[in-house]
Amino acid sequence: MGFFDKLKKSKGGYIFLSHSHADIEKVREIRNCLEKDGFEPLCFYLKCLDDDSEIEDLIKREIDAREWFVFVNSDNSRKSKWVTLEREYITRTDSKKIITINIDDENDVSNTIQKMVHNLRVFISYSSKDEVIARRIKDKLEAKDYLVFFAPDSIPVGSSYSSVISNAITEASQEGCVMVLLTQAAMESAWVLCEVERAIAQGGTIVPVVVGNVKLTDEFEFYMCRNQIYALSETPTDEEIDQMIDRLGYSILKK
């Protein structure tokens, strides 16, 4: 069992399952798998209502209330009026993690669910001088279902600091991403540079987050030039951090 497997997943992972009711037996199997992995999926079916406008309003409100949108792809769902409406609605928002599961391919169902679980693993690399902003980001990530390695909270008492850090970076590189907070303090930190170099050596996905106006050193400039860079103001609002994490979700879930 790896480090991230030992972390307790925060309550959440609310999922809207967009599906055809004709596929309900297979959809229930997907729902059960998601629940087993800590998610809370909704199989939305309103038998008691016959007012289309009321149903549409309820569906949209429920989609808005959930972090995830999972399209259960099948012949039936592609022909469904309501699934079509749901998909058209979700394409107009950029605040959801959107996943497609091909219901007729058992391997795809299993692989996609595992991808949802494992790609949400994040190692945060930062200077100790930036712990306040790093912790804010960590809390926001966890609230949005990510498993986060955050050194002050994640290193067991009595453990080898360097060994735990090294192993966590390896795991995040293989299955999630390494988020690097690029601040003036980070430019002067040998630890941050070392963590970035290890992640790159492991073939990991690097997520550079520039906080405020920072002039990157030549080393960081070189390492970050091929990565999509996310930017936050020097004292970001909660909304800024939320938007950055939403954009991050698109990137790592495409891996």
Q: What is the CATH number of the domain that holds 181?
A: 3.40.50.10140
For CA atoms 12, 18, 21, 24, the dihedral sign is negative
DSSP 21: G
**126 and 79 within one domain:** no
Same-domain check for residues 133 and 227: yes
pLDDT of residue 11: 47
- 101-160, pLDDT tens digit by residue? 898 888 888 777 776 665 678 999 999 999 999 999 999 988 877 889 888 887 777 777
What is the structure's pLDDT at 115? 67
Q: Strands, E, within 155-238: which ranges?
A: 177-182, 206-211, 230-232
Q: Are residues 111 and 124 in the same domain?
A: no
| 98 and 165 inside one domain | no
Domain encompassing residue 12? 4-117
User: Are 83 and 167 part of one and the same domain?
Assistant: no
Examine the domain organization and report whether 34 and 106 are in the same domain.
Answer: yes
Neighbours of 18 (CB within 10 A): 29
Structural domain tally of the chain?
Answer: 2
Q: At 173, phi and psi to the nearest 5? A: -65, -35
Confidence of residue 205 (pLDDT cuts 50, 70, 90): confident
SS3 at position 47: coil
- Token reading at 114: 């595992």
Judge if 225 and 124 occupy the same domain. Answer: yes
Q: Could you tell me if 216 and 140 lie in one domain?
A: yes
Residue 47: pLDDT over 70: no
Shared domain for 104 and 23, answered yes or no, is yes
Q: What is the reported pLDDT for 142? A: 86
Q: Which of 117, 144, 163 lies at the terminal end of a domain, its last residue?
A: 117
Which pair of tokens denotes residue 195? 């963590």
Between these two residues, 53 and 238, which has the higher pLDDT value?
Answer: 238
| The pLDDT value given to residue 128 | 94
Which pLDDT belongs to residue 251?
A: 62
- Over 80: is that where the pLDDT of 57 sits? yes
pLDDT at 233 over 50: yes
- Domain final residue, candidates 117, 138, 153: 117
CB burial of 142-164 (b: ≥16 within 10 Å; e: otherwise) equals bebbbbbbbbeebbeeeeeeeeb
Average pLDDT on 230-246 reads 92
Range scoring the smallest mean pLDDT among 3-12, 23-32, 51-60: 3-12
Q: What is the pTM of this model?
A: 0.69
Residues 126 and 102 in one domain: no
For residue 255, what pLDDT is reported? 55
243 and 129 in a single domain? The answer is yes
- Looking at the fold, whether 186 and 144 belong to one and the same domain comes out as yes
Given 97, 117, 137, the domain boundary residue is 117
Token representation of residue 27: 């959809």
